[in-house]
Amino acid sequence: MPQSLVQNIHHTIFSTKEQIRWIEEEWEKDLFRQISWKMSKIDCTLLEVGGYHDHVHLLSIINRNLSLPEFVSKIKSYSSYWVHRNIPKKKKFAWQSGYSSFSVSRSNIPAVKKYIQSQRSRHGRQGFKDELRALLDRNHVKYDERYIWG
Structural domains counted in the chain: 1
Give the structural domain span for 134. 8-148
Distance CA(150)–CA(135), nearest Å, equals 18
Which CATH number is 72's domain given?
3.30.70.1290
Q: Does residue 3 lie within any of the structural domains?
A: no
Residue 39's pLDDT is: 97
Distance CA(86)–CA(90), nearest Å, equals 9
Q: Does residue 29 lie within any of the structural domains?
A: yes
User: What predicted TM-score, i.e. pTM, was given to this entire model?
Assistant: 0.92
Q: Does residue 1 lie within any of the structural domains?
A: no
Q: Does residue 2 lie within any of the structural domains?
A: no
Q: By three-state DSSP, how is residue 40 classified? A: helix
- Reported as a single tens digit per residue, the pLDDT across 81-123 is 999 999 988 889 999 999 999 999 999 999 999 999 988 888 7
Q: Does residue 45 lie within any of the structural domains?
A: yes
Beta bridge partners of 52: 55
Q: Does residue 90 lie within any of the structural domains?
A: yes
